[in-house]
Amino acid sequence: VRTPVGIVGAGPAGLFLAHLLHRQGIESVVLETRSREEVEGTIRAGVLEQWTVDLMQDLGLGDRMRREGHFHRGITLRFNGESWHLDFEDLTGGKRVTVYPQHEVLRDLIAARLANGGEIRFGVQDVQLHGLTTDRPRITYRNGDGEPEELHCDFIAGCDGSQGTSRQHVEGRTEYQHLYPFGWLGILVEAPPSHHELIYARHGRGFALLSTRSPDIQRMYLQCGPTDNAADFPDDLIWSELHRRLETVDGWTLTEGRIFQKNVIGMRSFVCDRMQHGRLYIAGDAAHIVPPTGAKGLNLAVADAVYLARGLEDFYGRGRRDRLEQYTATCLRRIWKAERFSWYMTTMLHTNPAEDPFEQRIHLADLDYVVHSRAAATALAENYVGLPLD
């Protein structure tokens, strides 16, 4: 089978890329190792940047998001027994926080892709890349029935996430990594919202985050150890920690409900400083990881897809290669800023047992600065709602 662009991975990076290319008349085939049900059922990100929301609308993929998404003016920060609201809409000239879960985004992208005749091959195995430094790279794999198949392409997009293998093909890369000595315990709860916006809390016992999913389902996170096991957290321990870390101001209470999912998420920062090799371009978590605190990972994956689509459009439409050649450099400028912001939010809001008391006071000073200085609040706000695309 021949296709202009072979896309490995049906996450946000791969699926947005397929839609962006299709809009320009460039066809592609998406290969995915998991089943459609698994892809659509994995609970991950929750927050979309304003331009990601606008892009979904532009691509004609925004109808359900407009109806079911939650649009917030800003967020609340809690620390030192105080609660402060940051009004992003005011600070950024009208941009908002959109809570619309990643798996709902993926459901919308998959449905629209299949409806317009685009291909996604789920449940493939043994995906291997060949001939990347030739003009005719190939992907070999086994289809859902275990039979060998081959895809002949002009270009390959490695959108296979942090555990994928496409990055290993990028020769001459340098990898930067930073580990954090904590993780998040994430829970899904059957309960009404306790607050109309997200609450990020720094507390002596550790970070806590109140988020939402729908009017009946809430998402909450609790700082835990990096290798903790979700099964070791009984429900009553989770609730007592959430109450202690979030109920730090008079008159506000957290509504409990049935916890129906628990998982532990590791925290790391990672950047691969080359994102292309011959006809292979890698995008999204395949090339970079951020800790979840800044809500940047999904959005950053989509930004890579936008830059790659622009490069491929120039190649097919005008025979120009300069944007493709500049792909890594263009992406890295945005990636390092998102890495900085995610690291800043993470270090400012978590209790790090490895830090000395001086460093802990610095983080409180940082929070105090953010809530009292319009300049500092604006800097946080413009990063949170998403810096403009280059």
Q: How far apart are CA 239 and CA 241, in angstroms?
A: 5
Q: Which of residues 153-172 bind ligand FAD (CB under 6 A)?
A: 159-161, 164-165
Give yes or no for residue 279 binding ligand DHB (CB under 6 A). no
Under the criterion CB under 6 A, does residue 46 sit at the interface with ligand FAD?
A: yes
346 binds ligand DHB (CB under 6 A): no
Q: Which of 46, 137, 206, 386 binds ligand DHB (CB under 6 A)?
A: 46
Task: Choose which of 21, 31, 47, 312 interacts with ligand DHB (CB under 6 A).
Answer: 47
Separation of first and last alpha carbons in the chain: 35
Cα→Cα distances 27→82, 119, 313, 316, 331, Å: 53, 9, 11, 11, 23
Is 72 annotated in the active site? yes
Of the residues 22, 72, 95, 363, which is catalytic? 72
50 contributes a contact to ligand DHB by CB under 6 A: no
Output 48 or 91, the one with its CB closest to ligand FAD. Answer: 48
Q: Where are the alpha helices (DSSP H) in the chain?
A: 12-23, 36-41, 50-58, 63-68, 88-91, 102-115, 235-246, 297-318, 322-325, 327-349, 357-372, 374-384
Contact 48, 57 (CB under 8 A): no
Residue 386 interacts with ligand FAD (CB under 6 A): yes or no:
no
Residue 301 within binding range of ligand DHB, rule CB under 6 A:
no
Q: How far apart are CA 101 and CA 122, in angstroms?
A: 21
Binding residues for ligand FAD restricted to 113-142, rule: CB under 6 A? 127
CB 34 within 8 A of CB 14: no
Q: Which is nearer to ligand FAD, 91 or 124 (CB)?
A: 124
Coil vs helix vs strand at 372: helix
* The one segment of 289-297, 308-316, 321-329, 362-370 that binds ligand FAD by CB under 6 A: 289-297
Going from the C-alpha of 140 to that of each of 77, 121, 156, 280, the distances in angstroms are: 49, 13, 12, 14
Measured distance CA(21)–CA(273) in Å, rounded = 25
Among 74, 118, 183, 292, binds ligand DHB (CB under 6 A): 292
- The residue from 137, 203, 292, 350 that is catalytic is 292
Instruction: Return the residues of window 208-267 that contact ligand FAD according to CB under 6 A.
Output: 265
Question: Any catalytic annotation for residue 200?
Answer: yes
Q: Copy the structure tokens of residue 289.
A: 């990881």
Assess contact for 12 and 105: CB atoms under 8 A.
Answer: yes
Distance CA 354, CA 361 (A): 14
Residue 189 binding ligand FAD, by CB under 6 A: no
| Minimum CB distance to ligand DHB, residue 21 (Å) | 28
- Closer residue to ligand DHB, CB minimum distance, 48 or 305: 48
| Residue 41 or 146 having the CB closest to ligand DHB | 41
| Residue 137 interacting entry, from ligand FAD, ligand DHB, none, C-beta within 5 to 8 Å by type | none
Report the residue closest to ligand DHB, judged by CB.
46
Q: Which one of ligand DHB, ligand FAD, none interacts with residue 161, CB within 5 to 8 A by kind?
A: ligand FAD
- The C-alpha atoms of residue 63 and residue 109 are separated, in whole angstroms, by 11
Chosen from ligand DHB, ligand FAD, none, partner binding at 188 (C-beta under 5 to 8 Å by type): none
Both tokens of 98, joined, read 């959109």
Distances (CA, A) of 53 to 36, 298, 299: 23, 12, 10
Could you tell me the CA-to-CA distances from 359 to 59, 80, 205, 354, 363 in Å, in that order?
Answer: 45, 15, 16, 10, 7
**Minimum CB–partner distance for residue 148 and ligand DHB (Å):** 39
Residues that bind ligand FAD (CB under 6 A): 8-14, 31-34, 39, 44-47, 102, 127, 159-161, 164-165, 186, 265, 284-286, 292, 295-299, 301
- Catalytically active residues are 72, 200, 292, 296, 384
Residues that bind ligand DHB (CB under 6 A): 45-47, 198, 209, 211, 219, 292-293, 295
